[in-house]
C-alpha cells in the first residue's frame, strides 16, 4: 500500500454571534484519504466518518474486490461481485482496520469527517485497527497514533506478503517503535482495554 | 523469561485460543465448475456443497450448499457461499485446528430436480458433478487470511442430461390410473 495523499481537509468553521457577546464555533473537518492499493492483499483502515459507514458508502472498488474484517479471533469476509456487496450492511467505522484484496492495482478514496472523539474497546488478544484519525507517525506518540502501550503488546504490520512484528517488552518497543502511515491498518495483540484517540483542532 | 521465550509462549497461547481453522469457501478466481458440455456453469438452482474430513475416505462433514451465480454474472462457473441460505464466505472447519490438513471434495447438483442431492453427486448421476478430492493446509498463523479452494481442479457435470425423477404428484396420478384399470378389468 502506498499512501498517496494525506488528508486534504477542508476546514469549515461556521462562526456565528449568539446573544450579543457569546460566540459559538462549529468545527467540522471534512476531507478525504486517497490510498494506492497493490494487486492482492492490502491492510488498510477507515479514518473518516461518513455517517452510517456502510461498506458500500465507504469503499468504491472494482468488481472482484474482497474485504476481510477480524472479529473475535476470526475473519469475516465480504466481496463486491457483480456490482453488489455480499453483505451490504457491513460497516467500516473510523478506527477499524481491514484487509482488502483487489483484482488489480487501483486507487481508492475514502471521504468523510474527522471524528474528534474516538474510543474503541480492545479485546484481549488480536485486534485489527487503524488510527481513528488520518495522522501519520509513531503509533504510540500522542501527536500521532496516541496508543498507550501496555507491557506485552505486539503490533503486526503488513509488508505485502507477511507481517513484521514490534513488541513492547520491559517498557520499550523492540526492535523499534512502530510508525504508521495515513490509512494503514495493523494488528495489535495485547490486553483488553480501551484505545482512546481524541482530536482537537487546536 | 527472555524475549524469545516470551514470544514463543505468547504465540502458542494465541494459536490455542482460536481452536478451529477457517476456510474460504469461494472458488471465484480459482478452478471452475462446468456443465456437461464444458461451459462454465451458471444458474441459481445449481448448488455446490463442500465436504471435508481427515482423509478421502472420511469425508463426513459438510457445509450448507452454496448456489451458483445467475447467468448474467461476471464469474460463471463459480458458486456463491455468501448468498442467502449459503454457509457464508468463510466457514469453520469443525475438528480441525490451525496447522492441520483437511481433505476436501465438492459435490454439485441441481436443487430444482427432486430426489437429487449430495449422494447422487457422489455416485456421479447424470447432471451432477463431483470434484477430485484435494487437501488444504490450514495456516497455523492466526492472522493468516484463510484459503481453501486452491487445490480444487475444474470439473464438469456428468453427461447424460438431467435425470428424470417422477414428482410425487406424478406417482400419485399413475397409481390412480392403475387402480382405475384394475377396477375396470374386474367389472
Q: What is the pLDDT of residues A7-63, one digit of tens each?
A: 434 433 333 333 444 566 667 889 999 999 999 999 999 999 999 999 999 999 999
Q: Read off the pLDDT band of B174 (50, 70, 90).
A: low
Residue A30 burial by CB count (10 A; 0-12/13-18/19+): exposed, middle or buried? middle
Q: Read off the pLDDT band of B161 (50, 70, 90).
A: low
Q: Distance between CA A130 and CA A183 in Å, rounded? A: 7
Q: Which of B64, B77, B157, B54 is nearest to B113 (CA)?
A: B157
Q: Distance between CA A112 and CA A91 in Å, rounded? A: 14
- CB contact at 8 A, A138 and B118: no
Residue B51: strand pairing partners: B62, B105
pLDDT for residue B168 = 54
pLDDT digits over B23-59, tens only?
A: 999 999 999 999 999 999 999 999 999 999 999 999 9
Compute the C-alpha angle A48/A54/A60, nearest 5°.
75
Residue B120: strand pairing partners: none
Domains and CATH numbers, chain A: 2-112 (2.60.120), 117-196 (no CATH)
Q: Read off the pLDDT band of B142 (50, 70, 90).
A: confident
Q: Distance between CA B67 and CA B81 in Å, rounded? A: 7
Q: Do A82 and B72 touch (CB under 8 A)?
A: yes
A76, A167, A187 ranked by CB distance to B143: nearest: A187
Choose, out of B89, B98, B141, the residue to mutate when testing the contact with A (most A CBs < 10 Å).
B89
> Residues in chain A with pLDDT < 70?
1-26, 202
Please report, for residues A122, A136, B49, B75, B149, the alpha-carbon distance to residue A131 in angstroms, rounded to integers and kept in the order given.
13, 9, 40, 36, 34
B75 CB neighbours in chain A (<8 A) are 64, 81-82
Residue B17 has pLDDT above 70, yes or no: no
Q: Do A77 and B90 touch (CB under 8 A)?
A: yes
Mean pLDDT score of chain B: 86
More confident residue, B162 or B25: B25
B80 at interface of A, judged by CB pairs closer than 8 A: yes
B67 at interface of A, judged by CB pairs closer than 8 A: no
Task: Give the three-state DSSP class for A57.
Answer: helix
A167 CB neighbours in chain B (<8 A) are 3, 7
Q: Do A77 and B89 touch (CB under 8 A)?
A: yes
Residue B186 burial by CB count (10 A; 0-12/13-18/19+): exposed, middle or buried? exposed
Structure ipTM over 0.85, yes or no: no
Q: Read off the pLDDT band of B3 (50, 70, 90).
A: very low
Q: Do A86 and B145 touch (CB under 8 A)?
A: no
Q: Do B3 and A156 touch (CB under 8 A)?
A: no
pLDDT for residue A200 = 84
B29 at interface of A, judged by CB pairs closer than 8 A: yes
pLDDT digits over B107-139, tens only?
A: 999 999 999 999 999 999 999 999 999 999 999
Q: Do A78 and B89 touch (CB under 8 A)?
A: yes
For residue B122, count other CB atoms closer than 10 A to its CB: 15
Half-sphere exposure of A88 (CA within 13 A, CB side): 7
Amino acid at each position: 500500500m502506498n499512501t498517496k495523499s494525506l488528508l486534504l481537509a477542508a476546514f469549515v468553521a461556521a462562526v456565528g454571534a449568539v446573544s450579543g457577546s457569546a460566540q459559538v464555533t462549529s468545527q467540522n473537518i471534512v476531507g478525504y484519504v486517497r490510498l494506492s492499493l497493490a494487486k492482492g492483499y492490502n491492510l488498510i483502515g477507515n479514518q473518516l466518518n461518513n455517517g452510517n459507514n456502510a461498506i458500500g458508502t465507504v469503499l468504491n472498488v472494482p468488481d472482484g474486490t474482497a474485504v476481510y474484517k477480524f472479529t473475535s479471533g476470526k475473519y469475516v469476509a465480504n466481496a463486491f461481485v457483480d456490482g453488489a456487496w455480499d453483505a451490504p450492511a457491513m460497516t467500516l467505522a473510523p478506527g477499524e482496520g481491514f484487509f482488502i484484496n483487489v483484482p488489480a492495482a487501483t486507487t481508492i478514496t475514502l471521504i468523510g469527517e474527522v471524528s474528534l472523539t474516538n474510543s474503541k474497546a480492545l479485546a484481549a488478544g488480536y485486534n485489527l485497527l487503524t488510527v481513528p484519525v488520518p495522522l501519520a507517525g509513531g503509533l504510540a506518540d500522542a501527536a500521532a497514533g496516541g496508543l498507550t502501550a501496555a507491557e506485552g503488546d505486539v503490533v503486526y504490520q503488513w509488508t505485502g506478503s507477511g507481517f513484521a512484528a514490534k513488541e513492547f517488552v520491559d517498557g520499550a518497543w523492540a526492535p523499534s517503535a512502530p510508525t504508521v502511515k495515513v490509512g494503514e491498518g495493523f494488528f495489535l495483540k495485547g490486553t483488553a482495554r480501551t484505545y482512546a484517540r481524541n482530536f482537537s483542532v487546536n | 523469561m527472555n524475549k524469545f521465550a516470551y514470544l514463543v509462549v505468547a504465540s502458542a497461547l494465541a494459536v490455542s485460543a482460536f481452536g478451529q481453522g477457517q476456510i474460504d469457501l469461494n472458488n471465484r478466481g480459482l478452478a471452475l465448475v462446468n456443465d456437461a458440455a464444458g461451459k462454465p456453469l451458471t444458474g441459481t438452482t445449481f448448488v455446490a456443497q463442500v465436504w471435508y474430513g481427515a482423509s478421502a475416505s472420511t469425508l463426513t462433514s459438510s457445509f450448507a450448499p452454496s448456489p451458483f451465480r445467475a447467468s448474467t454474472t461476471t464469474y460463471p462457473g463459480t458458486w456463491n457461499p455468501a448468498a442467502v441460505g449459503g454457509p457464508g464466505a468463510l466457514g469453520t472447519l469443525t475438528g480441525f485446528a490451525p496447522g492441520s490438513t483437511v481433505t476436501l471434495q465438492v459435490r454439485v447438483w441441481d436443487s430444482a430436480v427432486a430426489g437429487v442431492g449430495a449422494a447422487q453427486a457422489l455416485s456421479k448421476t447424470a447432471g451432477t458433478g463431483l470434484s477430485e478430492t484435494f487437501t488444504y493446509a490450514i495456516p497455523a498463523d492466526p492472522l493468516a487470511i484463510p484459503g481453501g479452494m486452491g487445490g480444487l481442479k475444474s470439473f464438469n457435470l456428468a453427461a447424460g442430461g438431467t435425470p428424470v425423477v417422477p414428482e410425487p404428484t406424478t406417482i400419485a396420478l399413475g397409481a390412480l390410473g392403475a387402480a382405475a384399470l384394475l377396477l375396470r378389468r374386474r367389472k
